Structure 1
Amino acid sequence: MSNQLQSSPPPPAPLFILRGHSSQIHALTFLRQNSRLLTADSDGYVILWNIPTRRPVAAWKAHESAVLEVAVWGDNKIITHGRDNKLLVWKLGPEEEAGMDTITPADAQLGLGRTWRKPWLLNSLEVNALNFCGFAASPSTSGHAALTTSSIFVVFPSNMDSESVDIWKLPEQQRVYAGIKARDIQTGMAMSLRLFWLDEKSLALAAGYESGHVCLYVRDTSQEVAEWKMWFARKEHSQPVLSIALSPDHRYVLSSSADANIVKHSIPTDASDDSRMKIMDTKHSGQQSIRIRDDGKLFATGGWDKMVRVYSMKTMKELAVLKWHREGVYAVGFGTTKSPGQNAQSVYSQQTSTASDTVAMPELVQTLSTASTSGYLTLEQRRDERETCRHWIAAGAKDGKVSLWEIY
């Protein structure tokens, strides 16, 4: 009996495996309050999955070569960046899903000459994709936590110099800042980027490089002729930086590399602030992807060793190892964290939008919290509520499969 009590719990298992791609997964992201997952592969295909049903709702060939990065802009726009030197903005909201193809590239019955129906293309930019560095995006004005603004900034390596990066504004397709780079050190090519606002006038760019450097550049946007200032340049990696992640409160940047180190960089309050770093030797080289959950409590890595590892953001201690894939994990992503009732509130708002407003807010909250027991939600809505409120983490691997896990 004592041996049974002291035995280790069984290792976690994925809740579901999405099998739709026929080549390695390079990028993924959750959207629409965890109801959808967007995945992209090395053949240029993109699949939009319905998470509650685990089925594709759209699939198309977005690029003629590998997709490097994807992002969601508002409720109905998707941005993809491919190695075909194109950054594309697609219109694909809930209302457009019905007309999309749902046959995935992995379907064994597909012919090689099949043409997928594509969403409406809104913008197309010619970009540099020679160094595998995916784009990053930010609202074009401060005060917004997500890409919900009508215009945004996108940043990617310069077409003229792979050590430099340029920032463009969409949908205007206008270059607003050019040639941002370290002037006094040799960094090699940019490998990973994050763009964000430090305050209402300070636009910041964190960049990881081929040399192992991580640099932070800041520009005062209130001045028309201000230069980008380099606030720090840190080299705590012996190999190229593979991925960087920004904490939700913009206080930290995490970097992972082809070496075994994960580095937590404190973001200073000004150029003279020598903020601290925390370096962790994971003993596992090749952490290809690193992401931080939206509550700032956890971060996860996907590695060449086929594992997904989950860590505490505060202590940087390893909390879980998720093992299922038989080949390297190249992309990880967290769903949004939310409590039961948020989806019910959305459903309630939609169904009562044309009715008179006769329910007081306290009564509305009580109605939503007891919706399941009162029979207000349909079976489908209850399923959607349950599935989208899970604390999801998704992992895409070289084997072309996407594993879905629920953790913490």
Structure 2
Amino acid sequence: MSRPAPCPIYTLRGAGAPLNTLHFRCPGGDTPLLFSGSAKGAIHIWNLNSRRAEMVVEGHCGNSVIWVSTLQSGDSLMSQGRDMQVCLWDLKEGRSEAVDSVWTGSVGFCQCSLLETSPSNYLLAFAGSQTEEIKIIEMPSKNPVCTLIPDTKLGMVMSIQLWKPDSGLGPLLFAGYEDGSLLLWDVTQRSELSHVKAHPEPIMCLTFDPRRLRGVSGSCEKKLSSWMLDNQNNIQLQDCVMLVNPGVSQLRIRDDSRLLASAGWDHRVRVFGWKKLQPLAVLQYHTDMVLSLAFSDHQDPRQRLLAAGSKDQRISLWSIYNEQADTG
């Protein structure tokens, strides 16, 4: 018999608005934290020991926060809002005013992507003011690196991810567009490496696993599209995973490359084995669209969590498949 669907181990309430983005910071020995960004412009910093918000930052003049992340140093928080700003916050100081900001000019919902290139420098990619434009800058200097614009009309940039291959090549970037196209860009050469039509509808989300050179994308249809890179850096479309209901807000792969989670418009989180895309569980708790997901970065695998944020203004936390069970 299959195991019954699990329940959340606890929930976080009090954000007071839909939860667009989630990000964990769970260093060993320190207080595990969960950062959330809401549709009313608030960033909550949740203490996972007390299960309460220990700080709330009002960062984007009441505009929706669509992305949050921390730098590996642990002291800097970044947030992106629909006020066309990316803000940098110093967590050491406990300050509630941004120490720096970047103007994006983008009114869309494409989340930024961050790639740390050294302990003190990182690349920041974001959708620009033009429909198909992606800008990449070096931080903290804000020096422009490149602007990427496709040769053909693909519509709005919907989803991006920077990554650095082990081969010694410079940074690469995946980008999903409004017409369903998926492109791989060489950031150093400012050139397209590969272009496939992954979906007939806009690519709402994508995620890539550099360990397996494999990724997956979702749209408003009833399927996920998986793809991989060959040794010539060409994107090869692979299997499709059919879903019961249409619409995926976000996709996340756990750091150990064992699990894939999808945030559904049907109020559900679906969990798959990442190796074979085998369905493992359907997590049912929320009463509206699930908008955001994050896997925790606990050093002890037994403590790992999956967080889901919903339009119903709640965050659910789940402990799933943390033992060495076969996840396909």
TM-score, L = length of structure 2: 0.91
What does 1:76-95 align with in structure 2 at a 5 Å threshold? Answer: 76-93=75-92
Paired AA for residue 17 in structure 2 = S
Counterpart residue number, 1:155: 125
After superposition, give the CA deviation of every residue in 1:204-245 in whole Å (9 maximum; x if it has no partner). Answer: 0100111111111114x4xxxxx3222221112121111111
Q: 1:44 aligns with which of 22, 41, 44?
A: 41
Contact 1:155 1:168 in 2 (8 A): yes
Contact 2:229 2:236 survives alignment (8 Å): yes
User: Per-residue CA shift, 1:140-184, capped at 9, x if unaligned?
Assistant: 35xxxxxxx21111011122x120101011111121112x1220x
**Any residues of structure 2 matched to 1:2-401 within 5 Å, and which?**
9-33=3-27, 35-64=32-61, 65-73=63-71, 74-93=73-92, 96-97=93-94, 118-140=95-117, 149-159=119-129, 161-178=130-147, 180-183=148-151, 185-198=152-165, 199-219=167-187, 221=188, 227-249=189-211, 251-271=213-233, 273=234, 275-336=236-297, 338-339=299-300, 389-401=302-314
Aligned to 2:325: none
* CA deviation map 1:69-113 (0-9, x unaligned): 1111121000000000100010013xx45xxxxxxxxxxxxxxxx
> Aligned partner of 1:211: which letter?
D
Structure whose alpha-carbon radius of gyration is higher: 1
CA distance in 2, matches of 1:398, 1:129: 23
For 1:396 and 1:164, how far apart are their aligned partners in 2?
A: 29
Other-structure match for 2:316: 403
Q: TM-score, normalised by structure 1?
A: 0.74
Q: Percent identity?
A: 27
Q: Which has the higher strand share?
A: 2
Write the letter of the residue equivalent to 2:15: H
Give 5+ residue unaligned stretches, structure 1.
1-5, 98-117, 142-148, 222-226, 341-388
Counting matched residue pairs gives 315
Question: What residue identity is the alignment partner of 2:11?
Answer: I
Distance in structure 1 (CA, Å) of the matches to 2:157 and 2:258: 28
> Conserved in 2, the CA contact under 8 Å of 1:154 and 1:170?
yes
Aligned amino acid, residue 251 of structure 2 = I
| C-alpha RMSD over aligned residues | 1.8
| CA contact 1:158–1:164 (8 Å) conserved in 2 | yes
Q: Separation in 2 of the partners of 1:261 and 1:267?
A: 20
Distance 1:274 1:82, change over 3 A: closer
- The one-letter code sitting in structure 1 at the alignment partner of 2:65 is V
CA–CA separation in structure 2 for the residues paired with 1:306 and 1:404: 15
Aligned partners of 2:212, 2:132: CA distance in 1, in Å?
Answer: 24
One-letter identity of the residue aligned with 1:261:
K
Matched position secondary structure for 1:140: strand
- From the two aligned structures, give the one with the greater helix fraction: 1
